[in-house]
Structure 1
Amino acid sequence: MRADRLVSLVLLLRQHGRLSAAALARELEVSTRTVLRDIEALSAAGVPVYAERGRHGGFALLPGFRTELTGLNPDEALALLVAGSRRGAQAFGLGSALASAMLKVVDALPESYRDTAAGAAERLLIDPETDLLSRRLVAEEVPDAIAAEVLRAVFAGHKLQIHYAAVDETPKWRTVDPIGLVTIRDRGYLLATRSGEDRTYRLSRVLAAKELAEPAQRPARVDLDRAWRERSTRFRTGGDQVTVRVRMNPARREELLSTALAVLAEEAGSDGWLRLEVTFQDSRHAEWALWQLSTSAEALAPQWLRTSLRNRATALATRYGASD
């Protein structure tokens, strides 16, 4: 890993010209002390790194210096394949590999293309951390050690033990046969089988993972897109889903559809509002989705949902109606 870091350090200096120890430490995700030790190691190996003193000083390479690279390592190549955006790599614990791979890709470009590519990159921003309302878009965190263990089992075709915290259940150890990994809306999922039955696990709920030596029982090839569609269909049509009839302001339609599992019926009312029949994952999901829409929507049925929303609104009104 240190060899990869030293290469990344050289590439950073080649692309930026001069960087302080603090800036290098941020880019490489290490301490400034580690950066200084790496600079000494590069100098001892004959790489012409020199320090410039002063307010705008830092470390730089002698002009014209180039280094031969051995190419992308497996994690970096994988990061480029799965990372249509940086968030895709982050979901599988490959964020640092992606950053390192992109440095090598840029360095491999002909000099005439490099400036053009750098300029173009400054004009593109993909998946910023906040939306236009300054709401922070937080991706689910998966510890690197867990993500690495899951990845190894998936690629090696070995069984995997996971300590999994399902919703409203005590965490349990499970032994599964991993099929593949899927990321959607910044969430990572493990597709697997357990005792021959299809299972889908959210990576952020995996508390620990251990690759086993025993081969996984799974087909030699898999169509993940098809497998995901099939599981998605079963998820929407089974379990504890509830169907809700709702009257709502058309301006909030997309917000409702982004949370519903499916739309069964839709029509425009004479009052200008829409009437929809939609399904939700469960009763808690339905109540949460309608509550977010406030007075822009009214649940028409079932009655238990109307009662639950009324009780919640009454409790809130009582809280804010109380005098100091």
Structure 2
Amino acid sequence: MAKWDNMLSMLWMLRSGRKLTAAQIADSLEISVRTVYRYIDALCASGVPVVAESGHDGGIRILESFKETPLFFNSVELKALVDAFKFARGACYPYTEELESALKKVENGLHEEQRHDLSHQTSGMDVISPSRPPSVVPLLRELEQSAKEGRTVRIAYRKANVEQADEREVDPYGLAFDRNEWYAVAFCHQSQTLRTFRVDRISRLEPTEARFEKPERFSTSAYFRNQSEREREADGPLAVIRIEGEPDTLNALCGHWHLRHYLTERTDREARFLIDVPTMNKYLPMYLMTFGTAIRIREPLELKRRIQEMAYGIAKHYENDPD
């Protein structure tokens, strides 16, 4: 058992109110008596009032005034917390300041050696992200709060490639971070349908007095997935697609905004998709051709032959070109 798990187990044993000898604790945890005393020193350093009494009725106990169980983190867990904060900050997470404050509380509970080790372990990784307008953070907070309260908001929204923003009232259902951008999924009163709005394209947001009820068990991730499925070429038989390639190439393939929703299985060297045949025949051959020899289609045979035909056609097209 790991050191921190043993310390917590010892703490729970002592919180029972009974006095225990070092030998009893050592026997229960299958550790040495010397290790028990090291753990007692560590608990005391963490603020736990452990008392060791000698004599016939002596033993180890915790003062009754102690109420809180301290949190013990190993070095990898601490590193994961700091790295998660970096990712949150890079994504423009709306509660980064609160997350940083919570992380500082954790760090303040560490002793000097742990803080030094944490600084050393987390110095080698950072998150580089594109700059976003400062207005995105308050917009994300407002949208999330409105979604929680069920409050309709009025927004000025500018579509892509359009200079003028138009105003509309929307009922925000939730937020999603997708392809390095924040989106709000909301019911649009103007179009009378559920839509997605890129948050960085909202130039103004005002709460209204109107209220709404969000559909029960609504999920933004399920909405995005369903939208992708609706964009399929047609209903039809499904085909299993097996593609081999290097890990980095498969990452690019599986990260495609549309194709990723059809991913069913992934290893370091192979990706499997389940997709309807009409969509496969219309879109995939040309897209997969862009990967050249970096990937290999294992199945279905129909897709492999279609790509072979396209490659042969391109080769024939240039066969008689003058040098």
TM value normalised by structure 1: 0.47
What's the TM-score once normalised by structure 2's chain length? 0.47
Larger Rg: 2
